[in-house]
Each structure stands twice: as structure tokens, then as C-alpha cells.
Amino acid sequence: MPITPATATHDSSKGIAEAILLELVDENGVTIGTAEKLAAHQPPGQLHRAFSVFLFDERGRLLIQQRALGKYHSPGVWSNTCCGHPYPNEAPFAAAARRTHEELGVSPSLLAEAGTVRYNHPDPDSGLVEQEYNHLFVGLVQSPLRPEADEVGDTAFVTPAELAERHEKEPFSSWFMTVLDAARPAVRELTGPSAGW
């Protein structure tokens, strides 16, 4: 398979592009191998390790992001604060913190594990499949955002009511409600009953 911007990183020290590899896992989340990123998302999809981050401000509002229009997978849709894939042998917690900084230019002031969820979500627009064993994280953000334009089209802090209204009117990622629902117990513990999550 040719290496494309969707499946490669550029190593300027060597002047070459290297394929991005994901960790393939079994139904229990045990690593069983690796696969190139785009290949892992081709139908029917290969089960791989992923992570999803939900960050909140001091008022208990959830930070959501609109994925940049240039992204090969689910461009222009709204989703959780940050999501992605650990590199092989990279701890999901470390990957979540790394990608949050790379995409949004912030480091969470608190980041805690919130369980895992397994799902299979085909994306009707791209034809790609999210076949993921997803590690969930919740936390707090207290610094100004500095989104990376190639990754993030827009951001918003929303209350549960504002999220419900936006979810009815605007497109969201196919996995968004699955990961949010799975993370809700930890979200409620973090934000408290008054936030309404």
C-alpha cells in the first residue's frame, strides 16, 4: 500500500516518511500484533487500541472539537476533546496526554482513567471502520487552548443541554455517543451532580 499523508509521518532527520503503526488487540485488550493505520480501518476493520479524552472546565462544561476538514477520516464532524491511537508499546495514558497537547496545545491539569469500551462503528461517508478497544480518560483543562489547524477546525465548551441541542443539529463522529456514554460514570464523579452529566 502506498504511504499517504493519512498513513505517514515525516521524519525530517532522514527525509523519509514512515508508516504509522497501530497496536492490534484481542477482545480482552491484549496486544497481538501491529497494522498500518489506514489498513486497520479498511472494512471490516481490525480490532486495535485507541483512546478518547473528555476534558472539562471549572464550570463542568465539556470541551468538544470539530475535526479539521483536511482529515481523511470523519472530517468536519464534532467529537470529544481528543481521540487517537497509542503507538505500539506506548501506554494509552501517555498517548492521551501527548495527543491532547499536539492537537489542542494544552496539557490537562488532571487526567484520570475512566475505563474501556469496545465498539465497531462504520463511517458511512468514508467507508472506513472504527473497530476499537478504546481506553477512556476524563480530566480538567485550565489553560488557554492553542488548537493545531491541521487537526482541529473549531472548539466549544458545552453543558449537557447545549451538547444535546448541538447533537440534534450538527454532525458528530460515529463513535461519540458510545464513548461518552461509557465514560459517564467517571464524568459524573469528576464534575459533580450540579454539572448534569
Q: List active site positions.
A: 83, 132
Q: Exposed (0-12), middle (13-18) or buried (19+): which is 68, by Cβ within 10 Å?
A: middle
Using CA atoms, how far residue 77 sits from 74, 125, 151, in Å, is: 6, 11, 12
- Scan for cell 478497544, then name that residue: 133
4/88 Cα distance (integer angstroms): 20
Interacting residues of 170 by C-beta distance below 8 A, sequence separation 6+:
78
Residue 20 burial (CB count, 10 A): 17
Using CA atoms, how far residue 18 sits from 22, 66, 104, in Å, is: 13, 27, 24
Helices (H), 42-193: 92-104, 160-169, 176-191
